[in-house]
Structure 1
Amino acid sequence: MVGIKDGARKSTSGLSLAAKSSAGVSWLMMVQVVSKLLTFVLNQLLIRFISPKVFGVSAYLEFIVNVILFFSREAVRLAIQRVKLSDKKNDVEEATTAAITGYSDLTETGLLQSIINFGYVPLAIGVPFSLVVVWYQLKSATFLNSVRTLPNHEFSMAMIWISIMLELIVEPVYLVNQYQLNLAKRSKVEGMAVLFRCLVTFFIIFGVSRWTNLYQTQLQFEGYTVLAFASGQFAYSFTLFLLYNLDFQKSYPNNTRMIQPISSKGGNSVYWLNPSVLAIWKSLVAQMFLKQILTEGDKLLINYLCTVEEQGVYSVVSNYGSIIARLLFQPVEEYVRLFFTRLLAVKLKSNLDEASRTLTYIGIFYANLSSIILLAGVPNGPYILGFLLGRKGGWSNTNLFEVFQQYIIYIPFMAFNGVLEAFFSCVASKSELVNFSKFLTGQTLAVFVTMYVLIGRMDLGISGFILSNCFNMLLRIAYCSNFIIKFFRGYGYSITLLLAIARFKNTFLITAIAFAIEYKLIIGGPTTSTFRQLASNVVVCLFALLLCLIAERNLLLALYRARIGKRV
């Protein structure tokens, strides 16, 4: 299906790495805004007449998709960023001869072909792994009690599996675009996929609800609704598959090859999978397994310990609670992985200076944004969610609004962990990755013990999941922060935890005072309860944001001058 021939494009020449990465992040943020807006509108249109059970089943199916895709491709996506082209003079001379007879890893064409080769590893893993997961889920209590009883559940499961296969088949093309920092192209493709998913889901549910002779019972309606969510996932995956391949054929009209042998060192040896990338990938596989258990541990346990109604509550909480986090934090994590992997492939003084400076800017941005999220979300979140969903509907019989407030506190932990681990994965050596895997093993036990105490003994339910995940993220933040401090110290940079805390003292002080004003002078209780209180809190949040901007005025002015200087 895909391959690379001698007409391959130059990857990043003509634009600096930082500029191209930043431009790509802007595209990703824009698409995140559009996709989340579409998803938000879809939820608002559907949530008032769809039961918590249906949302729970759709969350369960989404969980299956995410687990299979994560274990199949995540380690490959991280490892492939370590691919680099040799710039040694004798290597280039050897490449001239080698390129005549085939693909050489000393040429841009051969390097891209090696990425294509590695892109089929997720498919090779995903096919058997998906069959095992689906077979296991068919015997689970959640499937037997909540999915199997629904009409058309066979079609729903089939569409979910086909969707997974489509995304894995197109993975080689995705990796080429990712390596070449074609984030704008990726953003457009994913934006179209999200649009079609929302449209397909909505129109099927809307059509079924209007065409009442399709069903006579609520159970039949729920079956069609779940099928609509599965169809939406299929529309998303098929759009990715179609658009990525059409673009690839347009950019490389003569490419029909799939996996090809790659010659190394002027043809002295041949390989199919890049040995250095393969070694990194092997180190990452175990780490990805442990990270998935820890990161998705709440979903793993919720699927087996909670009813589908409770799963529906958590699905709504996580979707609404992480809207801002996914809009801003996820694109920044993508930027960190791409930018620092390429920048620090060579540890030059100028590269390290830029890395240290950029990481500092990201930390300042995260600290200020997290403060505003907590300030605005903790007191006001439940009231706003109640306004959006309606407190008199089926959700009023759940603890949705109390849990939502707790989830907002979890967002900064998730955000800082994401960016710090992204940097760690960019620069860590094979031995450091192994050490991190050992740390995650011990941490897994600690987190599961915490979950057992909070949920099994203290009966905190979903609140226990959130608290244990905060503990989980805090441990990982501490590990990665310590690694980053040691990393930069090794190159002569002075970084300490106290210095970092002192850097954010103004932000912490502003946030603490604003919280005191909200709770003591405005609300007088745990959450906002009237529109007047909400309006007053908005004024406090805006004033706090203004003070944070004033506190960081020197940094903002320096960034503005640097940007103007680059344009000139």
Structure 2
Amino acid sequence: MSTEDVLKDASTLASYNVLLQVMFRALTFLLNAFTLRFVSKELIGVVNVRLTLLYSTLVFLSREAFRKACLSGGSGTNHSWRQVINLLWLTLPLGALWAVLLVYVWLWLLEVPDARSVPFYSPAVVLFALGGVQELLAEPLWVLAQAHMFVRLKVISESLAMIAKCSVTVVLVVFARDWGLYIFAAAHCVYTGFLVLCYVTYFVRFLGSKEASEERFPLQSLRELLPSKTEGEPLVDWTLARLTWSFFKQSFLKQILTEGERYVMTFLNVLSFGDQGVYDIVNNLGSMVARFVFLPIEESFYIFFAKVIERGKDVQSQKQDEVAIAAEVLTFLLKLVLVIGLIITVFGYGYSHLALDIYGGSLLSSGTGPSLLRCYSGYVLLLAVNGVTECFVFAAMSQKQVDKYNVVMLGLSVSFLLLSYVLTWRAGGVGFILANCLNMGLRIVHSVAFIRRYFGPSPWRPLRGLLPSPLLVLALLVSAVVTALSEFAFCCARGWFFRLLHVSVGGVCLCFVLLTVYVTETRLVQFVQTQLLPRYGKKRH
């Protein structure tokens, strides 16, 4: 597959993932708005912080390192798929081990919520852990699908699973409210079960078909998806196994950074369960764009960079035409996420209070809610830049460099936890966001330094993508001032007419900013039009 084909597939995958995440966040947005009117904020806090943390910790530590290693460097051509699949099946016993350990911690070492306000905590912990282990059954199929760019499979499977989860939650919240945490545990198990079912169903149909033969798919039957040994070959590829171990050490630290505030809330009890619920809802609102735009781009273009760039080699030892394409893509990605992040920061300040008031009423818009969302709007900008820079860095690093970066991540993890604890005692939930900003800034500095060294001997300067045009900066500054004045004049206690005026002012300012982007960033607009807009009718999977 040529570099251009890899880029096209990665771009299409990113586009589908963006659409998928938009749907996910929209459904979650509506589901949270619905459940807020039926269950207590304490129950929301336990589900969205503690139980979700249990699940995310289990699956992330069980599979993230395997995914990164097995998708690096075109594993479908450089490694035996038999050995890759054998390695991937290790995620299941590893997940079971993590499940036992985490269930013990969650049930016996952490504070147990009051059974009157949060009923059925213990069985819910077990069910969330079992749901995570259940999802790992599909891990070899997921890696196969990603490596071969089956772009529609992920969209369809996760869409059906999310719809099923939301349906179960709504029905049980309305008709079985007394079930407490059983509602969310049952919905979670339905979600993971649907994921596994969809992947298994697809590969049952696909393997051995004429379509698989035409595309020279490396596997021919379901039996080949099970672990087995080929005569004359090791059980697993030990190069990939060592790389997986390096990524595993890194993933443990990255998980602390990614979910750091939830670990602090869970283990140090700096906020009550009710306050945790409010913070998590605001956090989800603030991170919507980061999750449904930036994360899919990062995941998809990591695959692109991993296939185009040979890991561990300097820029002069690479194929120069492929490095040129990678540098150009990195430039445009940095420019794209920077522009989106700046727009979110500017408009997030003037519309945080209105957004929370519409979404959750005075429960969210009173107190620290608006301040939390305003701070998070600025944090999104750092999330955007860090996601793309680390996307390239992790694809280009050698195993030795990955091991060295683990030490950096350890220092960042320790500093983040300390900062979170100190700043939260002083500033409440805002302290979490400030600690995240400081650590994200340090990660960006490290990644930028790596990219500058990497491209130093070459004529390419992808970091120029971090420099917005002066006219765009001016348009954003004007919009920031106008929307802030509009909020002061019209929002939010003077009725719906004045709220609509405030929204109209923001709409005009946003159109002004987008027009400025279209005029001043013509090459970026062309990149988005040609690479990131999906071509649905031209993809078969």
- Structure 1 and Structure 2 fold alike (TM over 0.5): yes
Q: Call closer, same or farther: CA 1:385–1:455 in 2, change over 3 Å.
A: closer
State the AA in 2 paired with 1:249. Answer: V
Question: Once the two structures are superposed, what CA deviation does each residue of 1:256-301 show, in whole Å capped at 9, x if it has no partner?
Answer: 24212246xxx4xx21121221121111111111111122111100
Partner of 2:382: 413
1:476 to 443, 446, 459: 443
Partner of 2:319: 348
Q: Offset of 1:398 from its aligned partner?
A: 4.8
Q: Given the alignment of the two structures, is residue 299 of structure 1 paired with residue 289 of structure 2, yes or no?
A: no
1:283 to 232, 238, 246: 246
1:423 to 389, 392, 398: 392
Q: Given the alignment of the two structures, is residue 170 of structure 1 paired with residue 134 of structure 2, yes or no?
A: no
1:61 to 51, 66, 83: 51
Separation (CA, whole Å) in 2 of partners of 1:124 and 1:148: 36
Partner of 1:252: 207
Q: Call closer, same or farther: CA 1:313–1:140 in 2, change over 3 Å.
A: farther
State the AA in 1 paired with 2:61. Answer: F
Partner of 2:182: 227
Q: Call closer, same or farther: CA 1:206–1:479 in 2, change over 3 Å.
A: same
Partner of 2:19: 30
CA contact (8 A) 2:74 2:306 kept: no
State the AA in 2 paired with 1:482. Answer: A
Separation (CA, whole Å) in 1 of partners of 2:329 and 2:115: 47
Q: Offset of 1:524 from its aligned partner?
A: 4.1
Q: Call closer, same or farther: CA 1:552–1:149 in 2, change over 3 Å.
A: closer
Q: Offset of 1:473 from its aligned partner?
A: 0.4
Separation (CA, whole Å) in 2 of partners of 1:325 and 1:399: 22
State the AA in 2 paired with 1:317. Answer: V
Q: Which moved more, 1:13-22 or 1:340-349?
A: 13-22
Q: Given the alignment of the two structures, is residue 316 of structure 1 paired with residue 281 of structure 2, yes or no?
A: yes
Q: Which moved more, 1:31-40 or 1:299-308?
A: 31-40
Secondary structure of 1:48's partner? coil
Separation (CA, whole Å) in 2 of partners of 1:417 and 1:14: 24
Partner of 2:424: 455
Query: Quick check: which has more Rg, 1 or 2?
Result: 1
Question: Once the two structures are superposed, what CA deviation does each residue of 1:208-263 show, in whole Å capped at 9, x if it has no partner?
Answer: 25xxxxxxxxxxx3xx2321111111111000111111112222253224212246
Q: Given the alignment of the two structures, is residue 381 of structure 1 paired with residue 352 of structure 2, yes or no?
A: yes
Q: Offset of 1:313 from its aligned partner?
A: 1.1
Q: Given the alignment of the two structures, is residue 514 of structure 1 paired with residue 458 of structure 2, yes or no?
A: no
Q: How does 1:32-431 map to 2 (within 5 A)?
A: 32-59=21-48, 60-82=50-72, 84=74, 111-142=80-111, 144-146=112-114, 150-209=118-177, 221=178, 224-252=179-207, 254-257=221-224, 258-262=226-230, 267=232, 270-304=233-267, 305=269, 306-345=271-310, 347-391=318-362, 394-395=363-364, 398-431=367-400
Question: Once the two structures are superposed, what CA deviation does each residue of 1:32-91 show, in whole Å capped at 9, x if it has no partner?
Answer: 22222222222222212321101101111111000111111111111111254698xxxx
State the AA in 1 paired with 2:55. Answer: V
Secondary structure of 1:169's partner? helix
Partner of 2:516: 547
CA contact (8 A) 2:282 2:372 kept: yes
Question: What TM-score results when the alignment is normalised by the length of structure 2?
Answer: 0.87
Q: Offset of 1:18 from its aligned partner?
A: 1.3
Separation (CA, whole Å) in 1 of partners of 2:103 and 2:29: 29
CA contact (8 A) 1:383 1:528 kept: yes
Q: Offset of 1:382 from its aligned partner?
A: 1.8
Where structure 1 has 5 or more consecutive residues not aligned to the other structure, the ranges are 1-11, 88-104, 210-220
Q: Call closer, same or farther: CA 1:526–1:114 in 2, change over 3 Å.
A: farther
RMSD: 2.7
Q: Offset of 1:163 from its aligned partner?
A: 0.7
CA contact (8 A) 1:447 1:468 kept: yes
Q: Call closer, same or farther: CA 1:462–1:551 in 2, change over 3 Å.
A: same
State the AA in 2 paired with 1:544. Answer: V
Q: Call closer, same or farther: CA 1:409–1:331 in 2, change over 3 Å.
A: same
Secondary structure of 2:39's partner? coil
CA contact (8 A) 1:385 1:401 kept: yes
CA contact (8 A) 1:286 1:437 kept: yes
CA contact (8 A) 1:367 1:504 kept: no
Q: Offset of 1:449 from its aligned partner?
A: 3.5
Secondary structure of 2:392's partner? helix
Q: Call closer, same or farther: CA 1:146–1:469 in 2, change over 3 Å.
A: farther
Q: Offset of 1:155 from its aligned partner?
A: 3.5
Q: Call closer, same or farther: CA 1:429–1:563 in 2, change over 3 Å.
A: closer
Q: Call closer, same or farther: CA 1:485–1:83 in 2, change over 3 Å.
A: closer
Q: Call closer, same or farther: CA 1:396–1:32 in 2, change over 3 Å.
A: closer
Separation (CA, whole Å) in 2 of partners of 1:31 and 1:116: 26
Q: Offset of 1:553 from its aligned partner?
A: 2.5
Residues paired across the two proteins, number: 508
Question: Once the two structures are superposed, what CA deviation does each residue of 1:357-397 show, in whole Å capped at 9, x if it has no partner?
Answer: 11111111111111211122111022122112122xx4466
CA contact (8 A) 2:71 2:147 kept: yes
Where structure 2 has 5 or more consecutive residues not aligned to the other structure, the ranges are 209-220, 312-317
Q: How does 1:516-531 map to 2 (within 5 A)?
A: 516-519=481-484, 521-524=485-488, 530-531=498-499
Q: Offset of 1:528 from its aligned partner?
A: 6.1
Q: Given the alignment of the two structures, is residue 16 of structure 1 paired with residue 2 of structure 2, yes or no?
A: no
State the AA in 1 paired with 2:190. Answer: A
Question: Once the two structures are superposed, what CA deviation does each residue of 1:104-154 show, in whole Å capped at 9, x if it has no partner?
Answer: x77xxxx22222112112112111111111101112443x13469744334
Aligned-residue identity in percent: 24
Q: Call closer, same or farther: CA 1:441–1:259 in 2, change over 3 Å.
A: same
State the AA in 1 paired with 2:486. Answer: I
Q: Call closer, same or farther: CA 1:552–1:397 in 2, change over 3 Å.
A: closer
